[in-house]
Amino acid sequence: MRQEGEANTDSDTVPNPVGKTAATEAWKDEDVEFIKIFFTDLNGRLRALTINPEFMDQIVEKGVGFDGSSIAGITTVDDSDRLLLPVPESYRVLEFNSERIGFCIAKISNLMGGRSLSDPRAVLERTLERAMEEFGVRFQVAPEYEFFLLKSDDFTKNIHSDKAGYFHSDPHDKGGFVRNQIIRTLKRCGIRHEKTHHEVTASQHEINLEHTDALSAADRTLLFNYVAERVAAEQGMHMTLMPKPFDGQNRNAFHLHISMWNQEGENLFHDAQSEHRLSSQARQFIAGILKYARQTSIIMASTYNSYKAYVAEREAPMVVGWGIKNRSSMVRLPYCVSPESTRLELRSPDPSGNVYLQMAALIEMGLQGLREGEECGPPDMGSVYRSLFDCRVWDERFLPRSMYEALVEAERSEFLRNLLGESIYNHYLCLKIASWEEHRTHVTPRELGNYLSC
């Protein structure tokens, strides 16, 4: 039996269905009236087009057109036409209370059939191809999905659905039945969970799915977000992935667990003879993450709300460092029950970002560490929040503490430019600068309360 956190190394990682032929047969299911093909804009927001199953074969071969200029970061109005090409292997049937629908991931292409330069999924695909070509390695990834289940989206009212805390059970955990229904919906389409529980903050929840290959894990994140939001709505609740909706409370995080494997099926992060049973390659991988963490912060924490979550004693990382079983560290080596389960956990991302870019950045930072060959230093000892007592306004020992600081790092970063490619790099920074300017110039109720009597 596979232990908790152990990578799923079976080749059959997409059990429902596998392969283009099986998918083609599956979408002829007479009980499926609609197929939704999903992709993300550069911000990571879900976008979907609903298709008549009768036309699905044709769309798989030729694509279906859409206006890319109406979607954040895809293209401009003078060159707006793009194509969506479904990925048949990603097809699944989702069963909700009211209907059965088809779910499929799509790639974005240009009109000549080539891959669009602004497709975030392509960034992750390129990164994984480089990893295999250059190092002969592949990656297993499992995100931790954290979210709030609220009574509504009206923040003028008390919208908490419960007052429960970490690991509380029913009847205090009012959202447990929603989590269970999310899990059942995913299980029916072949996605297994490892564990689920109420989180630290009132109305906050976590679901962990099993490890799978990096691209499938990213695709599954789109599936998870869609299923979770829809199931919550069917139960009269509002699901939010907003990083920091409540002052003084824990954030929604998007911790990424990752392990690196060779083609013989060996976990390259494990070394039974080394300190902490952590291989030299794992230490180089960590060194790369630490070196480029500030430059990729705008990917991992992509909204101005994200940086309000980087506060002491709330289990959000603030210092650029790594630790052993240390939840104040940015990179954590979790307790591992077997060599196969040896993995690293990156704790800086949140769910507001684009999952394809986040996973690509994590992997490329680690690969760059392998190229440079330097190992990380000693792990953090004790709570790193103690370092905050001598923190300066601009302090490169820390992750950026504002979106502005993250943008400055991104503008200076050749590493980020090379990772994303010129097109996505420019479009992405334009989107984020516009968002920061909107935030910077907006007068908030708190400012009025503090300064109106000046």
| Cα pseudo-dihedral 380, 307, 124, 211, rounded to 10 | 60
How far is residue 113's CA from residue 42's CA, in Å, rounded to a whole number? 20
Among residues 414, 417, 416, 393, the alpha carbon closest in space to that of 405 is found at 393
pLDDT of residue 14: 38
> Tell me, what's the pLDDT at 13?
36
Spatial CA neighbour of 185 closest among 146, 222, 230 = 230
Residue 12 has pLDDT above 60, yes or no: no
What are the residue ranges of helices labelled H in 171-213?
176-188
For 215-231, what is each residue's pLDDT tens digit? Answer: 999 999 999 999 999 99
Is 70 exceeded by the pLDDT of residue 24?
no
What is the spatial distance between Cα 73 and Cα 430, in angstroms, rounded to a whole number? 9
Q: The domain containing residue 350 runs over which residues? A: 124-449
Per DSSP, 375 falls in state P
Q: Kindly state whether residue 254 falls inside one of the protein's structural domains.
A: yes
pLDDT in tens, 94-139: 999 879 999 999 999 988 878 888 999 999 999 999 999 999 999 9
Q: How many beta carbons lie within 10 A of that of residue 332, not counting itself?
A: 23
The total of structural domains in the chain comes to 1
Mean pLDDT of the 359-385 span: 89
* 13 within some domain: no
Q: How confident is the model at residue 274 (pLDDT cuts 50, 70, 90)?
A: confident
> What is the band of 331 on the pLDDT scale with cuts at 50, 70, 90?
very high
188: which residues sit within 8 A by CB, 6+ positions away? 93, 94, 95
Flag whether 425 is in a domain.
yes
Q: Residue 385 — very low, low, confident or very high, per pLDDT cuts 50/70/90?
A: low
CA angle 124, 308, 208 (to 5 degrees): 50
Partners of residue 107 on adjacent β-strands: 85
Say if CB 310 and CB 395 are below 8 A apart: no
The predicted pLDDT at position 387 comes to 57
In a domain, 8, yes or no: no
In a domain, residue 14? The reply is no
Q: Which residue has the higher pLDDT, 325 or 47?
A: 47
Position 10 pLDDT exceeds 70: no
How large is the C-alpha radius of gyration of the chain? 22
> 259 lies in a domain?
yes
Q: Is residue 437 part of a domain?
A: yes
Average pLDDT over residues 48-74: 90
Contact status, residue 199 vs residue 209, Cβ threshold 8 Å: no
Q: Which two tokens stand for residue 136?
A: 């002969």
- Distance between CA atoms of residues 63 and 37, nearest Å: 11
> For the residues 179-198, what does the mean pLDDT come to?
95
Task: Tell me what pLDDT residue 312 has.
Answer: 74
Question: Which pLDDT band, with edges at 50, 70 and 90, does 5 fall under?
Answer: very low
* Separation between Cα atoms, residue 338 and residue 37, nearest integer Å: 38
Q: Say if strands 35-40 and 100-109 run parallel, antiparallel, or are unpaired.
A: parallel
Domain assignment of residue 440, yes or no: yes
Phi, psi of 260 (to 5 degrees): -120, 130
Q: Give the residue among 222, 260, 230, 258 at the shortest CA–CA distance from 356.
A: 222
| Residues 419-445, mean pLDDT to the nearest whole number | 96
Write the DSSP assignment of 259-273 as a string of letters: EEEETTS-BTTB-TT
Q: Which CATH number covers residue 268? A: 3.30.590.10
Residue 395 has pLDDT above 90, yes or no: no
**Strand, coil or helix: what is 54?**
helix
In the numeric block, which tokens belong to residue 106? 């799509």
CA distances from 46 to 53, 86, 105, 351 (A): 21, 15, 11, 12
Q: How many CB atoms lie within 10 A of CB 19?
A: 11
Q: What average pLDDT is seen over the chain?
A: 89
Reading the block at residue 279, the tokens are 């291989």
Q: Determine if the peptide bond prior to 17 is cis (ω within 30°).
A: yes
